Structure 1
Amino acid sequence: MNSVILGGGATTPAGATAAETWRLLSEGYSAPRVPVPHPLGKRSYLYCAVPEKFVRTVGRQARLRRSGMLSLFGASAAFDALRDARVEVGPAFGARCALIYGVSSGGVQYTRRFYHEIVTQGASSASPLLFPETVFNAPASHLAALLGLNGKTYTVVGDSGVGLSAIQLGDELLALDPEVEYVLVVGTEEVDWLLPDAFAAWRLASKDGHCEVYGTRTGLVFGEGAGAVLLARQGQGPVVAQVHPGQSFFSRQDSRRVALEVLQRVLGADRPDAMVTSANGTDADAVEQEAFTRLNLAAPVYAYKPALGDALGAGSVLQAVFATLALRHQCLPGTLCAGDRCALVNRQTRSLALDRVLVSAIGFNQQVGALLLERTGSDAADARG
């Protein structure tokens, strides 16, 4: 379909909006690591938290007063994307907009609390107020109600690349359904102690809050927050030139072949001017780096996760937002805490002539996806203005 990204939004440990987050990332900001609260064991973990003040305003909405952080993050990023797109939200918009959420862990905080109370206090303690927030589509339900959306609403569940599946589904909806004029894609993630404890058992989590990409295998640092993009058939913004929702692999050796195939399919004969990657301090970094080498790519690489943590369900949507902002502002932030195994890493913020940005995503659930965004003439005119 080659849909257009009209606007992008984000709520992250760095900022309540995409613009604020981008400014701080460009200044070399690194989110503080704080202990994950409410441990169920003696093991402790550090993560990058979104300050509560960033979602205080959206949390005053009657619909969200009892909602989990997952829904608050998603709604905050979605409203930011709509403001960025300068779209008027009303009955006409609600009738023509579809909503697609990408989630990974879901409402893990309320889920843990719900079942913990059952185990420790008995079945009679199960709260009917908590249960609705434990289902994966709770954030989409809340946002659809807030925006007055009457059409298609989907929730896609996957790993840190699930946002690309959501973007691809949105692109298909715009191509096939004439009644859909806009598609709002949101990726969101909250952190609970259960997550890093599980990833530590798989040797995927950082032990001390340090995350080095394309170097020593440190494991990932968890982050939380949300990203959102508003898609349309036409308008001002980068074009979704190609998107691959994700292809499975079944071993480390297989991942190298799959990553190469996916990136080749998305790029074709094109070459990106920059790459926004999913590097997070795990084995996925080496797979990305090898694919870039075998394809003879020479574009600078930006990995945001050492700065903000890995917000799984929000990860690839945030990458798409940052790729959009890179095209808009014609610059690329510097990657923090990068090793020496990838010579393409961009280590300091700099201005660049960018027409194409590649987003690559390799998730813990053994999926490889990719997205290629292209700058249009209207983008260039807007940047000059």
Structure 2
Amino acid sequence: MNFCIQGIGAVTPLGPTGLETWLALCDGQHAPRTRFGKALADRNYFACPVPGKFLGGAARQPRLRRSGTISLLAALAGSDAFADAGLKLDSGLGDRIAVVFAICSGGINYTRRFYHEIATQGANCASPLLFPETVYNAAASHLAALLGVDGQSYTLVGDSSVGLAAIHFATELLTMQPRLDRCLVVGTEEVDWLLADAFASWRMATNRDQFEVYGRTNGTIFGEGAAAVLVGRTGSLMIAKCSAGLPFHSLSETESAAKEMFCHLPREGAFEMIVSSANGTFADEVEGKVFSEFYPAVPVYAPKPALGEALGAGALLQVAVAGWALRHQRLPGTLRAGSKLLSVNRETRSLPSSQALVTCVGFNHQVNALKLCLAQSAY
């Protein structure tokens, strides 16, 4: 059975829609960096937040007026994916569509506010208005309500690779439930000082305002945003190969797991580009070694130096970039690319291509990959 991406949507620091984000990436832009406010210690970090003006349309929805940033981002990306497919959120598809969310940190802003009130004022003073937005499936429930979906709504919790597992889960749903026509897969992430400080304790976040990929591994900068893909049984972008992911149990096992995953999925047919998860951490070294050994001539694009590490949204943003690259036959240039990977694409250029490989090395011991093709070239 074939599965295709019918619509792609996104909201990022570079644009309120997928198309605007794509044009900004091709233009060599990077998301503005801002220092976190409301730090709990004297440690400072930069982030790539989505400008508040991009969220206005979603915030006016009655259902979302008290929702956290993560739910607003998800609604915008989902609406953009529907629009890209020529549909509207209120198209009356509620009983024939499922919603699958990819989440990493969840509604961290509301969670911090909720527990801060408990810690400083006592449990009886914590606002009940904050608690509903602290649960992982809050964003999924909001978008499902906007779509009129009252049954098929799921949330997958994982690391920066979870978006690829969510796409695989969507294809499983469509396989097992023929009455479903489509599945909307959404990944979303909001930024907070707590997140950066936690990853900095593992030496995975930098306190600088930029980071290098495939070079020095000084840590990443966290970004905000959401991406969505509408998966169905027909369309021009075919999901040729996808997977639930492959775990590894230590850093020493990462390279072997990546080799197995990155080389197993694309074995049928060649691909002309790779969209990677390089983010200034150990993921760069793992991907770089595998690409240099097995795909030395395939150009590699890493979007995270431009957008930041968006964790729950990261893998779906990579899939979105791969889809746009195949549609427009162009590949953006990787910003802040080091010298350890010769095949990294450094400048935006035309690239005739029919197949793309998306790779992810997650923080939480998970690797995954997905192969995306123009429908006429799928295997």
Which 4+ residue blocks in structure 1 deviate beyond 3 angstroms? 88-92
Residue 19 of structure 1: aligned partner: 19
Deviations 1:172-217 (Å, cap 9, x if unpaired)? 1111211111000000000111100001100000121221000011
Matched pairs, number: 378
Amino acid at match of 2:80: D
1:176 is the counterpart of 2:176: yes
Aligned mates of 1:242, 1:6 — CA distance in 2: 16
Residue 304 of structure 2: aligned partner: 305
Contact 1:210 1:218 in 2 (8 A): no
Contact 2:79 2:89 in 1 (8 A): no
Residue 129 of structure 2: aligned partner: 129
Amino acid at match of 1:16: P
Offset at 1:349? 0.4
Contact 1:91 1:148 in 2 (8 A): no
Residue 295 of structure 2: aligned partner: 296
SS across alignment from 2:243: strand
Amino acid at match of 1:347: R
SS across alignment from 1:370: strand
Deviates more, 1:152-161 or 1:38-47: 38-47
Aligned mates of 2:317, 2:206 — CA distance in 1: 21
Contact 1:212 1:339 in 2 (8 A): yes
Offset at 1:298? 1.9
Deviations 1:128-158 (Å, cap 9, x if unpaired)? 1000000000000000111111331000000
Residue 260 of structure 1: aligned partner: 259
Aligned mates of 1:297, 1:6 — CA distance in 2: 31
SS across alignment from 1:371: strand
Contact 1:94 1:151 in 2 (8 A): no
Aligned mates of 1:71, 1:20 — CA distance in 2: 21
Residue 382 of structure 1: aligned partner: none
1:234 is the counterpart of 2:241: no
Amino acid at match of 2:62: A
Residue 29 of structure 2: aligned partner: 29
**Aligned pairs (5 A) from 1:47-86:** 47-86=47-86
Aligned mates of 1:219, 1:357 — CA distance in 2: 27
Aligned mates of 2:333, 2:94 — CA distance in 1: 39
Residue 318 of structure 2: aligned partner: 319
Deviations 1:51-90 (Å, cap 9, x if unpaired)? 0011111110011000000000111000000000112444
1:337 is the counterpart of 2:336: yes
Amino acid at match of 2:189: E
Amino acid at match of 1:201: S
Residue 191 of structure 2: aligned partner: 191
Aligned mates of 1:378, 1:298 — CA distance in 2: 20
Residue 273 of structure 2: aligned partner: 274
1:243 is the counterpart of 2:231: no
Offset at 1:293? 2.2
Contact 2:355 2:377 in 1 (8 A): no
Residue 139 of structure 1: aligned partner: 139
SS across alignment from 1:245: coil
SS across alignment from 1:280: coil
Offset at 1:270? 2.3
Aligned mates of 1:145, 1:378 — CA distance in 2: 37
Contact 2:221 2:308 in 1 (8 A): yes
Deviations 1:241-280 (Å, cap 9, x if unpaired)? 0012211112222100000001122111322100100000
Amino acid at match of 1:172: E
Contact 1:97 1:151 in 2 (8 A): no
Amino acid at match of 2:202: W
Aligned mates of 1:323, 1:137 — CA distance in 2: 27
**In the superposition, relative to structure 1, how do residues 95 and 349 fare at CA in structure 2: closer, same or farther (>3 Å)?**
same
Aligned mates of 2:276, 2:20 — CA distance in 1: 20
Aligned mates of 1:105, 1:89 — CA distance in 2: 26
Offset at 1:9? 0.4
Aligned mates of 1:210, 1:57 — CA distance in 2: 30
Residue 349 of structure 2: aligned partner: 350
Amino acid at match of 2:177: D
Offset at 1:118? 0.5
Supply the RMSD in Å over aligned alpha carbons.
Answer: 1.3
**Aligned pairs (5 A) from 1:218-233:** 218-233=218-233
Deviations 1:106-128 (Å, cap 9, x if unpaired)? 00110011001100011111111
Aligned mates of 1:147, 1:109 — CA distance in 2: 25
Aligned mates of 1:272, 1:297 — CA distance in 2: 12
Amino acid at match of 1:200: A
Aligned mates of 2:317, 2:2 — CA distance in 1: 19
Aligned mates of 1:370, 1:44 — CA distance in 2: 34
Aligned mates of 1:298, 1:7 — CA distance in 2: 30
Structure 2: tracts of 5 or more residues without a match? none
Deviates more, 1:88-97 or 1:203-212: 88-97
Contact 1:2 1:242 in 2 (8 A): no
Contact 2:9 2:84 in 1 (8 A): yes
Aligned mates of 1:226, 1:91 — CA distance in 2: 22
Contact 2:326 2:355 in 1 (8 A): yes
Residue 94 of structure 1: aligned partner: 94
Amino acid at match of 2:23: R
Amino acid at match of 2:166: A
SS across alignment from 1:208: coil
